[in-house]
Amino acid sequence: MLNRVFVFIFCTICADGLYTGILAQDDAQTAAEYVEIGDEIYFNQRAFEEAKSYYVQAAELDPGNIKANYMAGKVHLETTNKDQATDYFLKVYELDPEYRFDMLYLIAQGYQLSLDFEQALEYYGLYRTKLQNDSEYVGPDRIPIEMVDRRIYECDNGTIFTTYPEGYSIINIGSKVNSEWHDFAPVVNEDETMLIFTTRRKEGNLNQDVHTDNFPFEDIFISTKQDSTWSIASNIGEVINTPFHDSNIALSADGKRLYLYKDIEDGTSDIYVSELKSDSVWSTPKSVGPNINSEFSEKSLSVSNDGQIAFFSSDRPGGEGELDLYYSLKDGQGKWGPAVNLGPEINSDYDEDSPFIDYDGKTLYFSSRGGMGMGGYDIFKAEYDSATATWTNIVNLGYPINTPDDDIYFVGTKSGKRGYYASVRDNGMGYTDIYLVSVPYVDINTKERLGPRNYLRKSIEDESGLKAVNLNILVNDYDDDTPLDATVQLRRISDNVVFNVSANAIGKYTAQVTHPQPAEYMLSIEKDGYVFRNATISLPASTEEPQMITRTFELSKIRTGFSSILRNIYFDFDKFTLKQESFTELNKLERMLLENPNMRIEIAGHTDYIGTAEYNQQLSVKRASAVVNFLINKGISPSRLEAKGYGKTRPIASNDDEVDGRELNRRVEFKILSQ
């Protein structure tokens, strides 16, 4: 323990001080030192996020350092911002195509995770050809052709899903529940007044130490809904939580039975249940019994609304794949009966996990690495046909709820129109946040949710005759007005519904939006080497005639001295606490800093003229500091950030008017100090 604490303190000093003693040496030597530090953290301490910053800095200082680039790519795939791995792997391949046998596969994997399925397919194809030409190679870095073919299939599926996104509304449930840490595995009771989830936050954790990965231990927290608002989440208590990892997996419809996942000493895991004895007192967790628990691992469970059937995952022998879904019926004695495999309709050669049996008793949601997925775990649903005793209508829930990364632990609600799950998204507060998923496309005649692409045939245009608003987006370089090949995303602000943006040519993009009311949309534009751009666009209501709207945006190259207003940073009047709407903008800023590890920026706060100069100066500093603290909590080194307050001394508009004046003056800006 003492050695681990010493290493952590040593690494923290290095991160904040940029290892001042080494900086006097040449860049190649400094990079080599950073790789050594990264190796110590990665291989011995297993704190991957901390190791990542050293590998990234080493690759930036010495682009010719193959190991720095390889490890930077590898640790990105294993942590957050997985799409950034591609650039590092491409550099490795440029320096030495034979550095690893599977380098083409790793490049493709990075492209797949960034939703660039066209490039992913190209590199998977190149790797597949390499396998065929060198079939005798049997090294540990050989990815078998069956796995490559699976990835190609996933990319083909991903192309379809992202071209035709489903109409999900995906809303972050807010800062009273979510934190800057990992928040995941939400479960709710049937009236959605109780939310229980697992978190790795430090505040309120029963163990103030950190696990070997340098994150706090898992603890179970609870929030209750009061007047349609979730209360501030708190630790559920010592009877449920221990000083080590504790995670919830299911909650009964009445909210009185909480099912838990617990590690067993021999490396397996079992499922336990605790009863709510009063408003806040839970019983000591007990095993759910030997017919569900086994000498192997059981990882997740869902119990039907009537409490008579349990669905769970297990890696016991005899299944279709390594991790399969099973069911068990409760007998007359109230005990769970023998486990029965759900069969090949549900279980594949790959892993299945995270079952949730809906309130109708026949719709099963689950996650699978197989089936018609687009990568990692995807969330599927299936319906049980009691007449034939088979599972039918098995469909992938589609994009954007599913991505090429792991999407798992989805739970539905009694209405059938909403669900909860955890994801890493642009408007998130931390690593994973809990989101409310609404399904607005319920067929008003059958009351059944439509499957992927069926929604397109049941569009508003079909039902009302409304025509789409066609949005043309032009993206140019600010300096020379040349068109740019960028990443463009569009979502409706009110409900976070994502729309497909098609690239027609370099710098020319189109999106079609059909909506019966005028609405505001967030347009996000990013390109390597340029400052990101988020813009709010107001689009009119759809009519019986098609409408064409064109908007032009310019991106500026990243350069020292560049400054820009963070246009979507919001504070309540006279407050310095960030609002939920700010997180999308700040996550883009975080991303730019991660992609440019030597960049230092100033965060400047400004106010309107209401109030004294001294008060406004203090308020502007607090607002700038709120942004800096957000970035620090996301893993950006404090040495790269500088908070300054300018009070009311630098207005950009008249203070005589609120909307066109004072509101514009209450702003936060960033300035690139060095890169």
First to last CA, the chain: 37
DSSP 3-state percent helix, strand, coil across the chain (nearest 5) = 25, 30, 45
Residue 431: the pLDDT is 86
Residue 177: the pLDDT is 95
Where are the extended beta strands (E) located within 465-592?
A: 469-477, 487-492, 498-499, 502-505, 508-513, 519-526, 533-539, 547-555, 563-565
Interatomic CA distance for residues 213 and 21, integer angstroms:
27
Residue indicated by tokens 């930077």: 72
Q: If the chain, 675 residues long, is cut into consecutive pieces of 10 residues, what is the mean pLDDT of each piece?
A: 39 44 68 96 90 92 96 94 93 97 98 95 98 94 97 97 89 90 95 96 91 90 92 95 93 96 81 91 95 94 96 94 95 94 95 96 96 96 93 94 94 90 85 85 38 38 71 96 94 86 93 91 92 92 93 95 83 71 86 89 86 86 91 86 86 55 73 93
Residue 458: the pLDDT is 36
3-state secondary structure 64-92: CCHHHHHHHHHHHHHCCCHHHHHHHHHHH
Which residue type does 266 have?
D
**CATH 1.25.40.10 domain range(s) in the chain:** 2-163
Residue 139: the pLDDT is 94
Residue 9: the pLDDT is 39
**CATH 2.60.40.10 domain range(s) in the chain:** 460-555
Q: In the CATH hierarchy, which top-level class contains the domain 563-674? A: alpha beta
**CATH 2.120.10.30 domain range(s) in the chain:** 169-457
Residue 572: the pLDDT is 65
Residue 580: the pLDDT is 73
CATH superfamily of 169-457: TolB, C-terminal domain (2.120.10.30)
Query: At 643, is the secondary structure helix, strand, or coil?
Result: strand
- Sign for the pseudo-dihedral over CA of 83, 85, 88, 90: negative
Residue 453: the pLDDT is 40
Using the 8-state DSSP alphabet, how is residue 283 labeled? Answer: P
Interatomic CA distance for residues 496 and 312, integer angstroms:
32
Residue pair 346/391 in contact (Cβ under 8 Å)? The answer is yes
- Would you identify the CATH topology of the domain 460-555? Immunoglobulin-like (2.60.40)
Interatomic CA distance for residues 407 and 428, integer angstroms:
15
- Would you identify the CATH topology of the domain 2-163? 1.25.40
Residue 464: the pLDDT is 56
Query: At 197, is the secondary structure helix, strand, or coil?
Result: strand
Residue pair 412/397 in contact (Cβ under 8 Å)? The answer is no
